[in-house]
Structure 1
């Protein structure tokens, strides 16, 4: 169910249940919309650019006027004169109640995952989930989203590897919990993490079928 066009939440970092459901639905629809424009071997950054464009098309089709989809979000240390960036979040969204506050957004970090390549699933945690845990992304936020581009099935194998690494790294309390499935997602899970040791942030993990962007298999040698 899509959220109505009504501001929600004080502080602006909060999200209602309807808003969380809206983000989930939009991500799943957007990835499905993006599939025809993906090519074999497409890397993470160009895949995400295609997905962002598809998200905006879906948003317009659904008439969602209470949120905006922003491009790659650059993080800066406002207290420092150092021009270096702290990082870049792949996709951010802002609901109406977050407009005007640059620190209030819904962060979506996108990572490629592959059932036959555990290193990608490990990177999903160490270069994705970890950024929320340290507060590099979504500092003080109630929610964040991880979007897994599944390049090879089964998704259950990927989820198992990701969940195992999360539990080993952050403790059993961070274990992933399976959520109600979305028709356009391979798996939807949720976990709670301690951000900077003193704040709880919940991460929604959405795994979608992006096998169209999988590397082209090498041909078998003649013999």
Structure 2
């Protein structure tokens, strides 16, 4: 797996394969999540910001445990802009995983709580209309080829949550410019519960791949 703090790679994104960056980020997330789930203050009643904040802290701790002193730099609730001429942020994404000195060289990740229980079924709609769509309309990761959604599963039922989200993807496929349907994504190491969709981002010619990773909240 790519050592992102390698002295020959820092500041030179052209030498780093994007898929290696993403695989390394997911590996850090998986290790950090084990620690998040051991925190007594993190449970299924926590809001998205609290869970994401705990994950942010543990990702930094995981970097330290691995002796990674360079990229990726992990920013939580980071400002995003559709244009370099924008004076005010268009949005605030949950995570920017920054891997070079270039302002646009980051892997963007948005988080949402998800559940398949009757009282929480609205979360699947929020996942699409307050998450996925922000990548498609360029609020987040404008012009990027890859981005990710993290689903914090609060009912422990990943397959049922996926079924519900897929239903919402089809319902709003026009709004989110869905061009390739939901499939398993095997291209980033041994990351479980990882899937992908492809969309045409507003104003762009090339498709954006959105990766969907699900993490169960204990």
For normalisation by structure 1, the TM-score amounts to 0.81
1:170, distance to aligned residue in structure 2 (A):
2.4
Which structure 1 residue ranges, 5 or more long, are not aligned? Answer: 213-223
How far 1:17 moved relative to its partner? Answer: 2.0
Structure 1 residues 192 and 204: CA distance shift in structure 2, 3 A = same
Aligned equivalents of 1:126, 1:89: Cα separation in 2: 14
CA–CA separation in structure 2 for the residues paired with 1:127 and 1:15: 29
Give the corresponding residue for 1:138.
141
Correspondence 1:170-185 to 2 at 5 A: 170=173, 173-180=179-186, 185=192
Contact (CA 8 Å) 2:114, 2:152: kept in 1 or not? Answer: yes
The whole-number CA distance in structure 1 between the counterparts of 2:3 and 2:211 is: 18
Bigger Cα Rg = 1
SS at match of 2:200: strand
Q: Does 1:48 align with 2:55?
A: no
Residue from 89, 94, 100 that aligns with 2:93: 89
Structure 2 match to 1:106: 107
The alpha-carbon deviation at position 79 of structure 1 amounts to 2.6
Q: Quick one: structure 1 residues 182 and 114, their matched pair in 2 at CA, closer, same or farther if it must change by over 3 Å?
A: farther
Q: How many Å apart are 1:139 and its aligned residue?
A: 0.2
Provide the rounded CA distance (Å) in 2 between the counterparts of 1:80 and 1:195: 19
Q: TM-score, normalised by structure 2?
A: 0.82
In structure 2, stretches of 5+ residues that fail to align are none
Shift of 1:26: 1.6
Structure 1 equivalent of residue 62 of structure 2: 58
Matched, 1:71 2:76: yes
CA positional deviation for 1:15 = 4.9
Cα distance between partner residues in 2 of 1:3 and 1:191:
27
Shift of 1:54: 0.5
How far residue 204 of structure 1 moved from its aligned partner, in angstroms, is: 0.9
Offset at 1:40?
A: 4.7
Residues matched between the structures, number: 203
- Find 2:163's aligned residue among 141, 160, 166: 160
Distance change >3 Å, CA 51–CA 87, structure 1 → 2: same
Instruction: State how far apart, in whole Å, the 2-side matches of 1:141 and 1:177 are.
Output: 20
Are the equivalent residues in 2 in contact too, given 1:189–1:206 (CA < 8 A)? yes
TM-fit CA distance, 1:164:
2.3
Q: CA RMSD in A?
A: 2.4
